[in-house]
Each structure stands twice: as C-alpha cells, then as structure tokens.
Homo-oligomer: A and B are copies of this chain.
Amino acid sequence: MRTEGPGASAGLAQPLTRARWLAADLRARLLAGEWPRGSRLPSETELAASYQVSRVTVRTALKALESQGLVDIRHGAGTFVADFGVAIRAGLQELGSITQTIRELGHEPGMEWRTVEQRPATAAEADRLHLPAGAPVLAMERKILSDGEVVAYSYDTIRLDILPPGAVEEIGRGSVFEVLERFGVRPRRAFARLHAVQSHEVGWGSRRPTNGLYLLLDQVHYSPGAVPLMYSRTYFVEGAFEFVIIRTA
C-alpha cells in the first residue's frame, strides 16, 4: 500500500479524480522502473485492494496508461509493462500543451515569439472560430524549441472576446495554455486534422529544416461549452517529434 501519491505533474489542470491520481501514480512507478519491461503488473483485483478503490477505477487508470503506450493489457493473461520501444513519446489523443509534453519527455522546452498582434480575423480563421468575418483576434507566430532545437512552428489565433483584460499582455511570455488557465479559460476538447506539408514559407530564422517537410496539426480548441477558443496550426518539423497513436479495435 502506497501513500505518497503521484509526483506533481501539471499539464492541463484537471479535476484530480481517483482514476487520474492512480494513473499518475502507476505512471511514476513504471517510469521509475519498479517493474521490468515485459513483466506483469499486479492484477486489477490486487491493485484495487491495495489502493482501496473499486476495480472499475483501476481499469480506467490502466486504460489511460495503455493509450499512452505504457502498458499492454491482455485479456486473460494480465497487464504488462509495454515493450514496444525505447522512449515515451507524444501521444496524440490526449490534449495537452506542447511545452508540457516536452518537459515530460525530459527535455527543456523553449519558445521564441516572432509576432503577437491584434488584427481582424481572416476568412478561414473566422470560419473556424465561429466569428463574423473581420472580428478582432489575437494572432501569434512562434517557434517551439526542445533543448534549443526547433521542433515546431506554430500559428495560433485566439478569440479576443474570451480573453479577460490583462491576459493579452501576459501572452507572449510563456506557455499559452498556462496563461489561459490562469485566467480561467480552459480548453477541454480539440478537433484536429493532420496533414503532410512541404513548404519553405512555414519556418523562419536560421536552422530551419532544409527539406521544408512538416506534419501539420490543424486544430480548433473548444471550451467545455463547445465555444471555439483558439485556432492553431502547428507545423512539426518532420523527424523532430514522434507522434504515436495506440489504435484499438
């Protein structure tokens, strides 16, 4: 029986349910190497008993770890420490800030703003954000770094009407998600499309990829009430990030 709890790992602020707490705790134990690769974890019934929660809660936590590629649940056999590959990579189905993901992977995130400006929305932006054409938005262009290397270029547009006064000045100095969170704006869902892009117009500055190849994550973030908050086009430098999806039948 453990009592300490999971290490403080923020991400998007969530209500800390028992299932999420359990998942974080097991995740920490897994990453700490408490169980060897390929070995079996305690059964769901055992985990339920030792953590004093119901089996359903244990299953919820384990399924989250499975979708992150950390464990492998096999019917009738048990739950095993995943043996898929070497590193923990960026899962796509969980929403989170890129900065946070980079930090969790053990790297030092960085950011370089190119522009932050208020301007009328373009037609495409207005469409995605359900705004009348030309409504004012906050537009940003920035580079996202990991250990000093450029991993992505991001073009983001935020609705101005959902930003409380004062927030505009804060943005441009840190993680966009973290600023939004501080002002009570919490994206809870995103609708993302994926594209392959080749262009020399996307990146800027020195050390931009010579082949101009990017994986574009084109997404609209929504508040809990399904109000579109932000439209992002993030161009990930091909090869800099590994996108992983666990697909299940």
Contacts and interface: CB of A to CB of B under 8 A. Distances in A.
Interface of A: 12, 14, 69, 72, 74-75, 77, 80, 84, 92-96, 186-198, 211, 213-216, 219, 224-226, 238-239, 242-249
B95 A238 contact: no
Contacts of A242: 193
A243 B84 CA distance: 24
A245 B12 contact: no
A74 B224 contact: yes
Given A74-B225, A214-B196, A224-B74, A94 B191 contact: no
A81 to B, nearest CB: 11
B196 A196 contact: yes
Contact of A248 (B188, B211, B244): B188
A179 to B, nearest CB: 16
A14 B75 CA distance: 14
Nearest to A211: B198
A215 B194 CA distance: 8
Nearest to A12: B249
Contact of A249 (B189, B244, B246, B247): B189
A94 B247 contact: yes
Given A195-B238, A196-B196, A198-B198, A189 B219 contact: no
Contacts of A243: 193-195
A247 B92 contact: yes
A114 to B, nearest CB: 22
A243 B94 CA distance: 16
B75 A191 contact: no
Given A198-B213, A219-B247, A226 B191 contact: no
A249 B188 contact: yes
10 contacts: A75-B224, A93-B246, A188-B249, A189-B249, A190-B246, A193-B244, A195-B239, A196-B215, A198-B198, A219-B247
